[in-house]
C-alpha cells in the first residue's frame, strides 16, 4: 500500500476509500443483473397463467437462460475486453432489461424463449465485466474480499424477486399473489 492509496494490477493508484464505493458499485451491478435470471421461478404464477406453462416448463425456462449464459460467456468476455468494465456492465444491464421487457409482453412460448435467450446473453457479460472491475480497482491483498462482496450481489439479487415479483404481478392483474 502506497501512501496515497493502493496500487492495482494495472499499476494505477486507487485513492483510499474508493475501494468501498467501487465494491458497492460492483455489488449493485451483480444485484441488478441477477434479479431477472434468478427471478423466473418467482414469476411462475404469472407464466403459468399468461402463457400456460407447467411447472416443468418453468424449470426448462430457467435452464434456457443458463444455456445462453454458457454459450455467450466467452464472446461476451471478448466484447468486455474491447469496451471496458463500465460499458460492459451497462451493456449487460441494458440487454437484460430488454429481455425483461420482452418477458413482460411475451404472449407465447416462442416470445418467452426469445426473451429468456436475450436475458441469458445479457447475463453472460456481467461476470467478465465485474471480474475485470475487481481486478481494476482492488489491490491484490483485497481481491478475494472484493470478489466476495461482488458475488454477494448475485445471491442478494437472486433472492430479491422472491418478495417483489409476485406482489407486483398481482397488483397489475397479471398473476396471482403468492402465499
| pLDDT one-digit tens code per residue, 13-30 | 555 556 667 777 888 888
- Residue 61 placed within a domain: yes
- Residue 137 placed within a domain: yes
First and final CA of the chain: distance in angstroms?
A: 52
What is the spatial distance between Cα 83 and Cα 145, in angstroms, rounded to a whole number? 26
What is the spatial distance between Cα 142 and Cα 157, in angstroms, rounded to a whole number? 23
Q: What is the DSSP letter of 7?
A: E
The CATH number of whichever domain residue 22 belongs to comes to 1.20.1250.20
- Of the candidates 168, 139, 133, 166, the one whose C-alpha atom is nearest the C-alpha of residue 30 is 133
Domain of 50 in residue numbering reads as 18-163
- Residue 133 placed within a domain: yes
How many CA atoms lie less than 13 Å away from 13 in the CB half-sphere?
Answer: 7
Residue 176 has pLDDT above 90, yes or no: no
Q: What percent of the chain stands above pLDDT 70? A: 78
Residue 63 has pLDDT above 80, yes or no: yes
Render pLDDT for 116-164 as a digit per residue (tens, 0 to 9): 999 999 999 999 999 999 888 888 888 898 888 888 888 888 777 655 5
> 82's torsion region: left (phi>0), alpha (psi -120 to 50) or beta?
alpha
| φ, ψ dihedrals at 174, nearest 5° | -95, -5
CA geometry: angle at 73 spanning 67 and 78, to 5°? 155
Number of domains present in the structure of the chain: 1
- Residue 64 placed within a domain: yes
Q: What is the mean pLDDT of residues 74-92?
A: 94
- Residue 139 placed within a domain: yes
| φ, ψ dihedrals at 38, nearest 5° | -85, -10
The position carrying cell 424463449 is 113
What is the spatial distance between Cα 60 and Cα 115, in angstroms, rounded to a whole number? 14
Amino acid at each position: 500500500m502506497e501512501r496515497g492509496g493502493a496500487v492495482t494490477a494495472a499499476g494505477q493508484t486507487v485513492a483510499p476509500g474508493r475501494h468501498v464505493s467501487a465494491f458497492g458499485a460492483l455489488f449493485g451491478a451483480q444485484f441488478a443483473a441477477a434479479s431477472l435470471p434468478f427471478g423466473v421461478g418467482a414469476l411462475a404464477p404469472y407464466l403459468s397463467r399468461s402463457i400456460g406453462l407447467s411447472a416443468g416448463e418453468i424449470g426448462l425456462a430457467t435452464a434456457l437462460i443458463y444455456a445462453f449464459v454458457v454459450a455467450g460467456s466467452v464472446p461476451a468476455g471478448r466484447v468486455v475486453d474491447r469496451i471496458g468494465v463500465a460499458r460492459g456492465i451497462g451493456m449487460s444491464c441494458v440487454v437484460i432489461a430488454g429481455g425483461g421487457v420482452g418477458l413482460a409482453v411475451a404472449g407465447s412460448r416462442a416470445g418467452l424463449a426469445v426473451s429468456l435467450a436475450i436475458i441469458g446473453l445479457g447475463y453472460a457479460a456481467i461476470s467478465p465485466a465485474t471480474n475485470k472491475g475487481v481486478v481494476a480497482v482492488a489491490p491484490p491483498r483485497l481481491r478475494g474480499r472484493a470478489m466476495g462482496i461482488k458475488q454477494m450481489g448475485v445471491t442478494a439479487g437472486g433472492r430479491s424477486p422472491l418478495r417483489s415479483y409476485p406482489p407486483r404481478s398481482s397488483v397489475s392483474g397479471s398473476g396471482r399473489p403468492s402465499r
